[in-house]
Amino acid sequence: MSRAIPDEIIEELRSRCNILELVRSYIPLKKSGSGSWKGLCPFHQEKTPSFTVNEQRGRYHCFGCGRGGDVFSFIMEWEKVDFPNAAHILASKCNVIIPEKTYNSPQERQQAKQRAGRRERLYRINDEFAKWYHGFLSINPNWPVCQYLQTRGIPPDLAEKFQIGAAPDAWDASMNHGIQSGYSQDELLESGIILVNENSRKIYDRFRNRLIFPIWNEQGRVVGFSARSIEQNPQGAKYVNSPETPVFKKSNILYALPLARKAIQENNMAILCEGQLDVIAMHRAGFECSVAPQGTAFTDEQARILKRYTDRMFLAFDRDSAGIKATVRALDILLPLDFEVKIITFPQGSDPDDIFAAEGTDGIAAIVNSAMDMFDFLCQVFFSKYDMTSPHGKGRIISEMMNYLNKISNPVVRESYVQKLSSRLGVRPETVFGELNKLKQADKYKFQRRQPVDSASAMSRQETVDKQYTSETEIPPAIRHAEETLLEIGLAYEDIAGKIAHADLDHDMLSSTILGRALNELINCVLNGEWDHAVNYLTDVERNNPSPELSRILSSESQYKHSKAEKAYEQCLEVIHKHRLEQRKNDIIEKMRNAPPEEKDQLMLELLELSRQAST
């Protein structure tokens, strides 16, 4: 299987991560049999436990909703991340180093290990300093940075949740701590904890006498820091951030995403704030679905990350000119991704901290609940920019608005907004649609100039999909049951798996359903001497082709004792062979309808032979 992560790393993660320990770290489980545990499914609402974990096979399965898989699937479902991100989350839990890419030679292997080791050292440095900064804040309650934190009204439990810390008012405290912790000066320089003065070449701490906010990546590992000055009018920048490193890329980092992810999924909405303190204030007010771009303008990468968790976005930027521009830029990114976007508007000059201090959670909730639709926000922006009473002003407003409405792919939503715009401007809807169609024609022309799509290949792929779908729905129940039973007993008993592999079961005798393909994969595993790894191989198949039936078989012990399994094997083989004979007979009968006389006699002989075989 081709992956960005080498197969041996995947297998190491699978072997190191115990499925029972992993799942129990998220939900309570009770023992329900030999090697089996049960609990309430975390992926759908239920009152009676139907979620089971099979420790021996390293699998889980819910008999209620049909979800199932291994440690990777569980993290992908729980955290709503893709496979590579799930692998990195598991790697951080069991201290496995993942190389940046696969390698084709010993030299590449060594280089990959060195890069991975270097990245891991950076993760550990960041984790060490996150704890150190936070500890420094905790043990110095009367220090100015701590006093500043108290003036912001952030209670200790919230400071603990966000791991807020403080940097000492010294030039070399961080450097000395890093070296005492076993890290080299070069490693501390690469992490950005310290830096070099370009003129004097003096090395000193990057963060001094500042409030420290650790920055986590999507997997929840500390990758850098953002440090806020506590001075009213700081000589330097208000915020000082870690530089980009091999583990810190600002464009794909969202502040507090690991803390907000669950709330985003549960509420099907994300609130995008301007900075860390705004996010913390929103979390304090109960809106734990809040995140912020990290040290950069909102990016397409950040939007795509959020799209995995929700399709509803609330933008909570300032109402000044910079905030309005940031909101408009965000709409440019969000609308093509089919987000439903609303705009939260705080009173001029106020931020979430101010609102919470004055009105508490109810005040924040009222503002969030009254968020305006993105269409109304754009109308505010462009109606104030141009004279909507003049023909030319109306034309410019329509032109500006079409640039955004054209990005909306849903025709119902797009048409609704066009109708609203025409009504507000007093212009006929068909006129506005005419402007929209001009943009669409321009886009179509741009698209046509790109590399053409191979239509023959696309058609071939579609025919393959259609063929598989037909076989999934039309396969006789007896064949489905036979394949399911053979797969179940073949996974349970190695000797029976050997019989299945060496039986007269041609590849085309098995259906193209997920169970038929899984049975064929089991046969391949046996023939290659890899029966012990069959569950893992089939787990990879099931991850890419989710199937409640396959998940249940992989996660459950066989209901057949060995003697009954042998008998079931013989019965299933008989069912499949008879079905194959019937198919061949039907094919011959179909050919005979249009065959010339000289061929019909031969076809009749073949038909009689098949009938004889079927009766024996």
Tell me the CATH number at 315: 3.40.1360.10
Contact yes or no for 180/197 (Cβ under 8 A): no
Q: Do both 611 and 487 map to the same domain?
A: yes
Residue 74 lies in a domain: yes
Residue 382 lies in a domain: no
What is the rounded CA–CA span in Å between residue 408 and residue 577?
54
Contact yes or no for 539/70 (Cβ under 8 A): yes
What is the rounded CA–CA span in Å between residue 573 and residue 120?
52
Mean pLDDT (whole number) for 464-489: 67
Q: 314-328: buried (b, 16+ CB within 10 Å) or exposed (e) per residue?
A: bbbbbeeeebbebbb
CA end-to-end distance (rounded Å), the chain: 43
Q: Do both 127 and 89 map to the same domain?
A: no
Above pLDDT 70, what percent of the chain? 87
Sign of CA dihedral 101, 104, 105, 106: positive
Mean pLDDT (whole number) for 420-442: 80
Report which residue type is found at 570.
Answer: E
Structure confidence at residue 463 (pLDDT): 35
pLDDT category at 72 given cuts 50, 70, 90 is: very high
Structure confidence at residue 441 (pLDDT): 60
Q: Do both 473 and 609 map to the same domain?
A: yes
Q: Please, where are the H alpha helices in 386-451?
A: 391-405, 411-425, 429-448
Mean pLDDT (whole number) for 392-414: 88
Residue 406 lies in a domain: yes
Contact yes or no for 93/75 (Cβ under 8 A): no
Average pLDDT, the chain: 83
Nearest C-alpha neighbor of 276 from the set 223, 211, 335: 211
Residue 455 lies in a domain: no
**Angle between helix 562-594 and helix 477-492 axes, rounded to 10 deg:** 140
What is the rounded CA–CA span in Å between residue 592 and residue 263?
65
- Comparison of pLDDT for 539 and 11, the residue scoring more: 539
Range of the domain at 296: 256-377
What is the rounded CA–CA span in Å between residue 194 and residue 440?
52
Q: Do both 358 and 395 map to the same domain?
A: no
Domain end position, chosen among 377, 410, 435 = 377
Residue 60 lies in a domain: yes
Task: Provide the number of structural domains found in the chain.
Answer: 5
Residue 284 lies in a domain: yes
What is the rounded CA–CA span in Å between residue 162 and residue 537?
40
Sign of CA dihedral 389, 394, 400, 401: positive
Domain end position, chosen among 203, 231, 248 = 248
Q: Do both 296 and 354 map to the same domain?
A: yes
pLDDT category at 598 given cuts 50, 70, 90 is: low
Q: Do both 365 and 402 map to the same domain?
A: no
Phi, psi at residue 68, to the nearest 5°?
Answer: -170, 170
User: Left, alpha or beta for 449 (phi > 0: left; psi -120 to 50: alpha)?
Assistant: alpha
- Is residue 437 scored above 80 in pLDDT? no
- Is residue 111 scored above 50 in pLDDT? yes
Angle at 294 between CA 293 and CA 296, to 5 degrees: 80
**Angle between helix 321-334 and helix 300-307 axes, rounded to 10 deg:** 60
Query: Over the stretch 149-208, which tens digit does the pLDDT of each residue have?
Result: 888 888 889 999 999 999 999 999 999 999 999 999 999 999 999 999 888 889 999 999
Q: Do both 286 and 345 map to the same domain?
A: yes
Q: Do both 122 and 53 map to the same domain?
A: no
Contact yes or no for 39/27 (Cβ under 8 A): yes
Q: Do both 523 and 481 map to the same domain?
A: yes
Q: Do both 222 and 128 map to the same domain?
A: yes
pTM: 0.63
Q: Do both 163 and 289 map to the same domain?
A: no
Domain end position, chosen among 248, 265, 300 = 248
Helix (H, G, I), strand (E, B) or coil at 350: coil
* Tokens at 142, concatenated: 């009367």
Residue 106 lies in a domain: no
Q: Do both 487 and 608 map to the same domain?
A: yes
Contact yes or no for 223/245 (Cβ under 8 A): yes
Phi, psi at residue 272, to the nearest 5°?
Answer: -100, 115
Residue with tokens 């001075």: 231
